[in-house]
Amino acid sequence: MELIFKTTVILMLGLSMVLHAQPVKHKNGRDTENVIKHKPDSERAKQAESLVKVTTTPNFTYRYDIMKKGVIQHLDRDYTYDVIPEELNNALLLQGVHRPPKGTALEIELLKPATVYFFFHHKADGGYSKIFANLINWERCDYAPQYDTNNEGDGLKMIMYKMVAEKGIYKIPSTTEDGACFNIAFKQIKSPLKLTESHVKFDDTRITEWDKEFKIAEIKSKFDDKIQKAYFYKSKSNKPKPLIVSLHTWSGNYTQNDEIAQLCKSKDLNYIHPDFRGENWTKNACCSKLALSDIDESITFAIENLNIDTANIFVIGVSGGGYATLSTFMKSKHSIKKFSAWASISDLIAWYDQSIIRKADYAGHILKCTESEEGILSESTARQKSPVYWDTPLNKRSKSELSIYAGVYDGIQGSVPITHSINFYNKLLADLSVTDSSKYVSNNEKLKLLEYRKPLGDYGKIADRAICLKKTFKNIKLVIFNGNHEMLTEYAFNELIEE
């Protein structure tokens, strides 16, 4: 029986923890020598004591040092990095062995926001060239560190990717070839613009300036007389035009930057971006009765004040906006032609547990919006705010199209696991009493997606992304694509408005 051990490397206060493993055999038959040549930098260790944990499979000897000229590349070689890009100076360098075997897998847990740099040899890459070309959120750099420069050898030809990341767990797939020559470096983000869940692209709440052609509406709630604001654009056409209702993300409000807005303006389509009680950490937000009424009332405002083709009203959202889109599908009084939901939350009970595991701030938000006490989730309130538990309006939505999209890496490199989209799709089919099992996402398909994160068949592409799984039943569609926690904005917009 073969035993595989996982080793977690943790940077501790004032020291570098070095974990000794069995020597690794390479093709030349020589064992690596785990020779520690550099003492840890205690000051750097103090700065980064809670920055990162790295888990390797199989286990290796690892330690950390400061990224600076002359730093040793790997513990079992005398190579040093002699040319270092400026932005890598003083980064925390993970030093391992020179040529680990095929099948090496890495799990990086960031305990604070950081920029992660991953660099590897252009030939002895273990398959990383292909792996990173398909990883979401990693950007290939035009530069990379160089080692063994005095000999003008292959150490001059390195490839580097970087990722600006929130705290969370990130996995690097297993190498597909022997002898991957690589390093990882970490740099904590200390920008005044704190990188948290509310700063990722599709939950970005930074202040933005809206185009002057977008006006602000003030809409009074019929339930509590509160004023809800919304940005809107009125088509200049004399003929009725479609209305796009774009719903903000979990941590956003009506002022949040929205790429859909400019696309609507470019096509001269009516547009509204309601507030529906703002950020999802109060009892009146988070798809409450009041919040969903606010969305409906914003649509009513648009119908009464803009030149709307009422046969062509569309609702779209990503992340928390996808959550609101699914909820609007279930609860809205209006006749909506199409709904487009991306990276959606559907179950607050599940998402609370998932956010606890990821150590994400969203867990605290869920406690607040469900009025939970003493840190214990009120599951009854969470169900009331989770569309996966609601009754499906079968007759009302029989002619409405619902498209549900999720990036297959979401939940690993993003905040919402793909199971939220899959389970909601399956729930709708069950409510419709669908008996053809092939129309559902099976447990086997779900497990394969979660384990392998790759296409389960030839489903084509959306935009330039491979489709991993596609399911349809009548007017309902589920697409799991090669992506992360995101919306493919132009594709989503064009699909929404096409006849």
Residues 140 and 220 in one domain: no
Q: pLDDT digit of tens for each residue in the chain (499 aa)?
A: 333 333 333 333 223 333 333 333 433 333 344 455 545 555 655 566 678 988 888 887 777 888 888 888 888 888 889 888 888 988 999 888 888 889 999 999 888 888 999 999 988 999 999 898 877 778 888 888 998 777 666 667 899 999 888 888 888 999 999 889 999 999 887 653 343 443 456 766 665 789 999 999 999 999 999 999 999 999 999 999 999 999 999 999 999 999 999 999 999 999 999 999 999 999 999 999 999 999 999 999 999 999 999 999 999 999 999 999 999 999 999 999 999 999 999 999 999 999 998 888 899 999 999 999 999 999 999 999 999 999 999 999 999 999 999 999 999 878 999 999 999 999 999 999 999 999 999 999 999 999 999 999 999 999 989 999 999 999 999 999 999 899 999 999 999 999 8
* Residue type (1 letter), 21: A
* Residue 314: strand pairing partners: 244, 338
**Is 469 inside a domain boundary?**
yes
**Is 429 inside a domain boundary?**
yes
Residues 175 and 208 in one domain: no
- The DSSP bridge pattern shows strands 139-140 and 158-165 to be antiparallel
Contacts with 433 (C-beta within 8 Å, 6 or more apart), sequence order: none
Residues 221 and 269 in one domain: yes
Burial class (CB in 10 A: 0-12, 13-18, 19+), 374: exposed
Contact 300, 272 (CB under 8 A): no
**Of the residues 154, 188, 222, which one is the last residue of a structural domain?**
188
Distance of alpha carbon 160 from alpha carbon 138, whole angstroms: 10
What domain range includes position 148? Answer: 7-188
- The DSSP bridge pattern shows strands 158-165 and 182-188 to be unpaired
In 36-121 the beta strands, taken as DSSP E runs, fall at: 52-57, 63-66, 71-72, 80-83, 92-95, 105-110, 114-121
Residues 172 and 222 in one domain: no
Name the domain count of the chain: 2
**Is 1 inside a domain boundary?**
no
Structure tokens belonging to residue 186: 């970490």
Per-residue confidence (pLDDT) for residue 495, from 0 to 100:
96
Residues 348 and 381 in one domain: yes
Distance of alpha carbon 303 from alpha carbon 26, whole angstroms: 70
Residues 81 and 152 in one domain: yes
Residues 360 and 311 in one domain: yes
Residues 412 and 456 in one domain: yes
Burial class (CB in 10 A: 0-12, 13-18, 19+), 129: middle
Q: Where are the alpha helices (DSSP H) in 118-258?
A: 128-133
3-class state of residue 301 by DSSP = helix
**Of the residues 188, 218, 252, which one is the last residue of a structural domain?**
188
Say whether pTM exceeds 0.85. Answer: no
Contact 466, 387 (CB under 8 A): no
Residues 181 and 234 in one domain: no
Per-residue confidence (pLDDT) for residue 149, from 0 to 100:
72
Residues 172 and 228 in one domain: no
Indicate which CATH number applies to the domain containing 343.
3.40.50.1820
**Is 2 inside a domain boundary?**
no
Structure tokens belonging to residue 89: 């100076």
**Of the residues 121, 154, 188, which one is the last residue of a structural domain?**
188
Per-residue confidence (pLDDT) for residue 51, from 0 to 100:
84
Distance of alpha carbon 129 from alpha carbon 158, whole angstroms: 11
**Is 338 inside a domain boundary?**
yes
3-state helix, strand, coil in the chain (%, to 5): 25, 25, 45
Distance of alpha carbon 430 from alpha carbon 404, whole angstroms: 16
Per-residue confidence (pLDDT) for residue 310, from 0 to 100:
98
